[in-house]
Amino acid sequence: MDARVVDASVLAALVFGEPGSEEAERLLGDRELFAPFLMRYELAQVAVKKASKHPGKMRLILDALTLAYSLDIQWVEVDFEAVARLALETSLTAYDACYLFVSKSLGIPLVTFDKRLKSRSG
């Protein structure tokens, strides 16, 4: 299976046209994508921040958020106790540990622009 766990940094770059969007597109390609449900909230927060800074672009930002939610992503539940342990073991936030948990659980690579998370996903 040519699949990847994608985190919010990569998907936000892609759908909101941020720096790194071309690299995000290359990294994701036509792969099967997986992510924890948490990413839905993280993307909503990105949209809130962007809309706060650029209220005139709110419709475009919300359309990009809708696009993100419409992508064919397999949303994965996580074991919160295991995520907390993983966060403690790796010195990551519980949020970042969710992505690492999904990657380890499924045995597929994690795609992220977060250098700290990337270094823990080895």
Q: What is the pLDDT of residues 24-50, one digit of tens each?
A: 999 998 899 999 999 999 999 999 999
pLDDT in tens, 56-110: 999 999 999 999 999 999 999 999 999 999 999 999 999 999 999 999 999 999 9
- CA dist 42 and 7 (Å) reads 9
> What is 18-79 written as a DSSP string?
-TTHHHHHHHHTT-EEEEETHHHHHHHHHHHHHHHH-GGGHHHHHHHHHHHHHS-EEEE---
Q: Rounded to two decimals, what is the model's pTM? A: 0.92
**CA dist 32 to 5, 25, 46, 71, 84, Å?**
9, 13, 23, 10, 26
Q: What is residue 112's DSSP assignment?
A: -
Cα–Cα distance measured from residue 81 to residue 86, given in angstroms and rounded to the nearest whole number: 9
Which CATH class, in words, describes the domain spanning 3-115? alpha beta
Report CA torsion sign: 97, 102, 103, 107: positive
Q: State the pLDDT at residue 29.
A: 87
